[in-house]
Structure 1
Amino acid sequence: MEEEVDKRQQGKDSVFFRDGKKRIDFILSYVDDRDGERKQERRREYEANLQKAGLELETEDKSESDDRKTYFVKIHAPWEVLATYADVLKIKVPFKANDIPVHQDIPMDWLFTPFRLPDHIMNPEPDYFTSPFNKGKIDFFLIDDKDTFFPPSVRNRIVYYILARCPYYKSDREDKKGIKRLLNNGTYGSAFPLHDSRYWKPSRDSNSESERFNLYTHWARFFSFFKEQPLNLIRKYYGEKIGIYFAWLGFYTEMLFFAAVVGLICFLYGLFTFDDNVWSKEICSEEIGGNIIMCPLCDKKCGYWKLSSTCNSSWQSHMFDNVGTVFFAIFMGIWVTLFLEFWKRRQARLEYEWDLVDFEEEQQQLQLRPEYETKCTSRRLNRVTQEMEWVLDRTAAELVGKVLLCWATVVLWISLIIACIIGVIAYRLAVYAAFASIMKDSPTNNIHVVGSLITPQLATSVTASCINFVIIMILNLMYERVAIWITDMEIPKTHLEYENKLTVKMFLFQFVNYYSSCFYVAFFKGKFVGYPGDYIYMFGWSKLRNEECDPGGCLIELTTQLVIVMSGKQVWGNVQEALVPWVMNWWGSRKARNHPESCYSRWEQDHDLQNFGHLGLFYEYLEMVIQFGFITLFVASFPLAPLLALLNNIIEVRVDAWKFTTQFRRPVASKAHSIGAWQEILNGVAVLSVVTNAFIVAFTSDMIPRLVYMYAYSNDLSMKGYISNSLSVFNISGFSDDNRPEDGESPEWFNSSVITTCRYRDYRYPSGHEKQYSHTMQFWHILAAKLAFIIIMEHVVFMVKFFVAWMIPDVPSEVKARIKRERYLIQEYLHNYEVEKLKIQLSQRNEDCCCTPVIYPDISRHVVLSQCL
């Protein structure tokens, strides 16, 4: 009796049919509606066609399911079907053990022992030479057991290929097919391959591999964050496309370590050189900064203030605006090149090891989207395959019209982002006066409960950054649906083409959405403000006077903006990725918790998990590429950005692993030989980052004006007197009624009869000079130095980038040798196989006619002749 119960429990958790032999390769589920006669007819036709295609089906009645409503159709692909479609899809399988020795002599290898995983986890399969499967040459390949020859990931990929193309309705006019359309119209509720076990314990079935349990144990748990990733096991279980994502994410995280260390050193340099910061000492000095009266920073509501009140922001700015900033900007320009070049080499190695060499052509020709095939109305000869294929007829006018409509929509949404950014800028201009009025005495007057940290500039910058972040999140949710809709409307031919089109649209939008506020602070804020008596206003509206930079400089404001948007996105992203699927799964499986675990079948467990859509990896890549932009485009303003990204990615790898292993159904395995369009986007961001960082150092940082002063205007090559030199003088009597502070807005110490001038950040001649309020020669010297710095830095970094790219080959020589060796062996083995096969045929034929075959070897090839003796 106990044995029968144990078998029943094992059967509920099994990944096999009731006979315990046929493996379940796919599951279809549906709820039988009373009014769903049309759906029932579709299911009957579809399942009948699946059986005609050679698949075997077994249905679990709703009475056997936990909710007593859901039917589960289990699908098994027998050997004949697998062999046929493996031939069609050109799936590579082993034909000979790899005989090339692997040299892994790593100096001080024992240091890496704590980071290693067991070899059976890192390398779950032996290393073989592989060749595309050919059903007519089965004995050419290393087939020990037909039941296990194709791993589950390959099996579910083949079955999904059949499901996606199997018709469920046929007529003279229309041919409807594909599981995706049946899912969309509600005929089936879900379609998914099964996990091979529970994630927290191995399968009780000896025929099941329990790879999910191994992945969770050695990879998905957070306390394994310092361990290497079992990429070969990930690839074997989830397929190459997901494997290549985790390989890229892991490599990116490893490279971030070096950038984070250098960035931390640069930050510490700024922290430990406070005592050498002469200009900050002058600002904080009561004799210098305390006697410099600054002009109001806004109209009417802002009063006069002393420069010494910006002492704290000046010290804070020095941590990021120092000589180390220039070094780090140059370093990151070289780092990003090394990252991309070394990734190409790593990717080339994975392409060979995972049998992805020359895969792109196969994917383009074979992996057509079912949505494209259903729209095709005519056939045309494919010049590559010389076979007739279905094509989509589109007139030139229709094609141009769709392209224009799609890109007009993208431009419209980008314009909406720009409008929102302008709205945030207007908010900054409007509320600054309010904050200044509340904090009365000076623009840096304190809210005393928090010390001398909150200023009108800081309050405005922080609240505007938070509002901007909320707008970014809202626009992301809205545009995502729009981007998918317009991409669907273009009807791309292949899955790769679909993802590439969507990638370009989404990245352009997100680029503007996330980075526009940082570009504003870096390159526009404080650059077009005019001067006292002749200020510049936004759209000419007298209430929106253009912003000036924080007294500590615009760089500290760019740092604030970057930290809020980047950190907010990373925290929100990780919480959303981990919490949302967990809550949804908890809610979806609440009924099952009322029953014994043994009654909860394997297909029901997976059915209650979240579905991993075909765009699941797209969002993962997009998140990381946006982060890559933050740490490269604006890194000169915040050297700690790579460190924040490193800490986030250490968590991200394990959150993604945990999510894939525990919260999502097993995705259909698919191939990808690279990270696709993201590679070109990363290259573009890398080039742009050199330009943006050069401009940040030149125009946002105060580095160039300080260097010009020290070498051209200082008598002793010191920074003494720099603060007074960098401030221009304005006669207070020159203020108009629209600019002059209202009564009561200026501090008590201000006496207009004694104080007749105020200072402002610029290089202009004072009142009474023949060139009154026009730019001085020092301004033009500084501008020339800034432009010269940009040109020199860009050329130096680009020359180093191109030299490094030229020095590092994209494909390692070892991989090239292995590829050549494999191709040679394929030709040699196939040749010998055909010769041996012909010998056997001739031998069998001559046994019947008493003839002896004579084989004459030729220099270039074997020529087989039959001669009767």
Structure 2
Amino acid sequence: MKDVFETIFCLHERKQQKDLKRKWARWSALFTGQPVNNVKCYFGEKVALYYLWLGWYTKLLVPAAALGIIVFLYGLAFFNTNPLIQEVCNSSIIMCPRCDNRCAVWQLSDTCFYAKVSHLFDNEGTVAFAMFMAIWATLFLELWKRHRARHVSQWKVYDWCEEEEELILKIVNDPDCTPKQFRHSYMRNTLVLILLMLIIGLTQALVVFRVVAAPMMSEGSLEFFKDHANTVAMMLGAVLHYVTIQIMTRVNRWVSLKLCDIEKTNSLAATERSFTVKMFTFQFFTLFSSLFYVAFFLGRINGHPGNYLRIARWRLEECHPSGCLTDLFIQMAVIMLLKQTINNIFEFTCGHCYRKACRDEQGCVEPCDICKLRDWLRNYHLANTDAFSLFNEFLEMVIQFSFTTIFVAAFPLAPLLALINNIFEIRLDAIKMVQLERRLVPKKTNDIGVWTKVLEVIGVLAVIANGLVIGVSSDFIPRLVYQYRYGPCFVCIVSHHVSVLKDFQMNQMRTENGVTVTQCSYRDYRSDEDYTLTSQFWLVLAVRFAFVILFEHVVVVCKFIAAWFVPNNPIQVKNDRLHDKLARLKEELR
């Protein structure tokens, strides 16, 4: 007989389910604590540790979000009075056309609004905030280890080993079983690297779009696209980035599963670790390839007006007229808002729709016990769960942690958005697991697994990326160099940071009002005669690299000090484990 059973799943226990719903899985409990011990008893230690970690992460986001708001308000306080903004808004500098054909010259004062917006996140407080967030990431991990140790010690699973439990289950089922042997293959590793490079190559399609879209729209027939080509291309690039993320997530999962099948790991725990590392690696490059391009390559290898670098006749994209950091800020804001908002709406509505669809499909053909929806039928109508249910939640939060820390220098409000999202995310996930989804199979564990290593790697990347963003992408270093080397005329920095071009195409040397000009300017440090790089360029470049090296070394030292200062295990946990070991040894020696 075939198709006798449709599915196998754990049933929700009505009494405990109602208790969790009353204490935890409801929107009215939005700002109350989580009953982690109750969650552990119902869903197992693995699910409980996820919510314990998510709650701790959300709580530690509060000081980061508060400081990010202070940095934002600091920029807002000088929104109209900052000397640099005043110089841009009152400038009479004529800038060179943004495209090759049919584009007119434009006034630097046209970017007055964007200069004000840029100052909200690119100001003197950004450096201190980036250093704080790098140290915050370390403190978060160290304090999390202490928080975890306290709970797993209370749950009596501190010394529990997943691989040993798998071996015990094998012995119970077959006393003569033999364990799977460890294997290593250079061929498999080579295949993993090839597929990784293939995934990275696919994600570069977004970068190609940005390179091609700006000149295409600037040369188009629509006047709006001509005048706002960079901004439109940037916004479309951010939205396309989000769509790419949704598509590539499914591709990445399929590739990761196939690679795990090829590897033939010796245990389920090893398979889970391998899949987690591969999936996160693929997702990381999918999410951050475009951001790394915007942060460190956009507008830096495209030449200058009159001598642009081209690839297959397409001119490389330039930075936004108000600066390269504006592109990164807008890209981060669009992606974080879209990703978090749409994902939460999708997750919450899908559970309700799935349950309603199942009920409609079953129908009530007669007034019998089926219409009363007994426990097994009520559970059958809930959304299905599998091994990826908890993994997806972890992946979503770790990716958010990456956005919050790696490019926080370009988007100080990222911790605030993450905090607001997580306050709702905790209750949303709780409602899904308790009311909308079938009960997960309880599993025992004493840690969040390889995710701890992933978070440590993200913390290191945050130091490197934020140092490069401040030192290379922002205008903090040029302003600093000018103030202390070429000052005291601080309000002359804008004119100091532009070069003059005198032999541009004459058909483009007209303003929108039809006035002909003899020269135009562009953002660079080049000679007005032969367009070679000036001594100011090399000085600023040297200071940029010096700042990056100094910033990273100082922050890394602070991270090591923070990690040393905060022990992984509380003293009480160490003493409890010592007494447990002593009692166990006495029992064994009797």
Deviations 1:482-522 (A, max 9, x none): 22232133332222111111111111111111111111111
Give runs of aligned pairs for residues 719-758 of structure 1, distance below 5 A: 719-731=490-502, 733=503, 735=504, 740=505, 746-752=510-516, 755-758=517-520
Deviation, 1:591, is 5.4
Deviations 1:77-98 (A, max 9, x none): xxxxxxxxxxxxxxxxxxxxxx
Q: Does residue 367 of structure 1 match 2:125?
A: no
Deviations 1:772-819 (A, max 9, x none): 211111111111111111111111111111001001110111111111
Q: What does residue 504 of structure 1 align with?
A: 277
User: In the aligned structure 2, how far is the partner of 1:476 from the partner of 1:627?
Assistant: 15
Q: Is the 8 A contact 2:206 2:237 kept in 1?
A: no
Q: Does residue 427 of structure 1 match 2:212?
A: yes
Q: Is the 8 A contact 2:238 2:335 kept in 1?
A: yes
Q: TM-score, normalised by structure 2?
A: 0.94
Match of 2:140 among 330, 335, 339: 339
3-state SS, counterpart of residue 69 of structure 2: helix
Match of 1:759 among 521, 524, 527: 521
Q: What does residue 438 of structure 1 align with?
A: 223
Q: What does residue 341 of structure 2 align with?
A: 571
Give runs of aligned pairs for residues 506-585 of structure 1, distance below 5 A: 506-537=279-310, 539=311, 541-542=312-313, 544-585=314-355
Match of 1:810 among 546, 564, 568: 568
Match of 2:443 among 653, 661, 670: 670
Match of 1:682 among 438, 455, 471: 455
Q: Is the 8 A contact 2:260 2:275 kept in 1?
A: yes
User: In the aligned structure 2, how far is the partner of 1:688 from the partner of 1:591?
Assistant: 50
Q: Does residue 637 of structure 1 match 2:410?
A: yes
Which stretch of the first structure deviates more once superposed, 494-503 or 423-432? 423-432
Deviations 1:104-123 (A, max 9, x none): xxxxxxxxxxxxxxxxxxxx
Match of 1:460 among 218, 233, 241: 233
Larger gyration radius, structure 1 or structure 2: 1
User: In the aligned structure 2, how far is the partner of 1:422 from the partner of 1:315?
Assistant: 27
Greater length-normalized contact order (CA 8 Å, ≥ 6 residues apart): 2
User: In the aligned structure 1, how far is the partner of 2:278 from the partner of 2:110?
Assistant: 47
Unaligned stretches of 5+ residues in structure 2: none
Q: What does residue 541 of structure 2 align with?
A: 783
Q: Which ranges of 4 or more aligned residues in structure 1 deviate by more than 6 Å? A: 393-396
User: In the aligned structure 1, how far is the partner of 2:135 from the partner of 2:55?
Assistant: 20
User: In the aligned structure 1, how far is the partner of 2:168 from the partner of 2:522?
Assistant: 63
3-state SS, counterpart of residue 759 of structure 1: strand
Q: Does residue 626 of structure 1 match 2:411?
A: no
Q: What does residue 203 of structure 1 align with?
A: none
User: In the aligned structure 2, how far is the partner of 1:436 from the partner of 1:283?
Assistant: 29
User: In the aligned structure 2, how far is the partner of 1:672 from the partner of 1:485?
Assistant: 26
Q: What does residue 234 of structure 1 align with?
A: 39
Q: Does residue 196 of structure 1 match 2:13?
A: yes
3-state SS, counterpart of residue 409 of structure 2: helix
Deviation, 1:191, is 1.5
Q: Does residue 257 of structure 1 match 2:62?
A: yes
User: In the aligned structure 1, how far is the partner of 2:416 from the partner of 2:182?
Assistant: 51
Deviations 1:4-40 (A, max 9, x none): xxxxxxxxxxxxxxxxxxxxxxxxxxxxxxxx3xx4x
Deviation, 1:824, is 2.7
User: In the aligned structure 2, how far is the partner of 1:279 from the partner of 1:240?
Assistant: 55
Letter in 2 for 1:778: Q
Q: Does residue 590 of structure 1 match 2:389?
A: no
Give runs of aligned pairs for residues 258-277 of structure 1, distance below 5 A: 258-277=63-82
Deviation, 1:742, is 5.2
Q: Is the 8 A contact 2:398 2:455 kept in 1?
A: yes
Q: Is the 8 A contact 1:260 1:646 kept in 2?
A: yes
User: In the aligned structure 2, how far is the partner of 1:742 from the partner of 1:470?
Assistant: 40
Q: Does residue 800 of structure 1 match 2:558?
A: yes
Q: Is the 8 A contact 2:181 2:266 kept in 1?
A: no
Q: Is the 8 A contact 1:279 1:722 kept in 2?
A: yes
Deviation, 1:229, is 0.3
Match of 1:356 among 151, 157, 173: 157
Q: Is the 8 A contact 2:358 2:381 kept in 1?
A: yes
User: In the aligned structure 2, how far is the partner of 1:187 from the partner of 1:487?
Assistant: 31
Q: How many residues align?
A: 586
Q: Is the 8 A contact 2:211 2:317 kept in 1?
A: no
Deviation, 1:639, is 0.6
Q: Is the 8 A contact 1:292 1:759 kept in 2?
A: yes
Q: TM-score, normalised by structure 1?
A: 0.64
Which stretch of the first structure deviates more once superposed, 573-582 or 304-313? 573-582
Indicate how the Cα distance of structure 1 residues 189 and 368 shifts in structure 2: closer, same or farther if over 3 A, else same.
Answer: farther
Match of 2:109 among 308, 321, 334: 308
Indicate how the Cα distance of structure 1 residues 261 and 667 shifts in structure 2: closer, same or farther if over 3 A, else same.
Answer: same
3-state SS, counterpart of residue 522 of structure 2: strand
Indicate how the Cα distance of structure 1 residues 393 and 431 shifts in structure 2: closer, same or farther if over 3 A, else same.
Answer: same
3-state SS, counterpart of residue 766 of structure 1: coil
Deviations 1:595-645 (A, max 9, x none): 578832211211221222012111111101111110111000111000000
User: In the aligned structure 1, how far is the partner of 2:296 from the partner of 2:220?
Assistant: 24
Match of 2:123 among 306, 322, 343: 322
Indicate how the Cα distance of structure 1 residues 369 and 519 shifts in structure 2: closer, same or farther if over 3 A, else same.
Answer: farther
Q: What does residue 405 of structure 1 align with?
A: 191
Indicate how the Cα distance of structure 1 residues 741 and 242 shifts in structure 2: closer, same or farther if over 3 A, else same.
Answer: farther
Indicate how the Cα distance of structure 1 residues 486 and 188 shifts in structure 2: closer, same or farther if over 3 A, else same.
Answer: farther
Deviation, 1:762, is 0.6
Q: What does residue 19 of structure 2 align with?
A: 214
Q: Is the 8 A contact 2:97 2:103 kept in 1?
A: yes
Q: Does residue 414 of structure 1 match 2:200?
A: yes
User: In the aligned structure 2, how far is the partner of 1:368 from the partner of 1:299?
Assistant: 68
Q: Is the 8 A contact 1:239 1:671 kept in 2?
A: yes
Q: What does residue 855 of structure 1 align with?
A: none
Deviation, 1:365, is 2.7
3-state SS, counterpart of residue 509 of structure 1: helix
Match of 2:95 among 294, 304, 316: 294
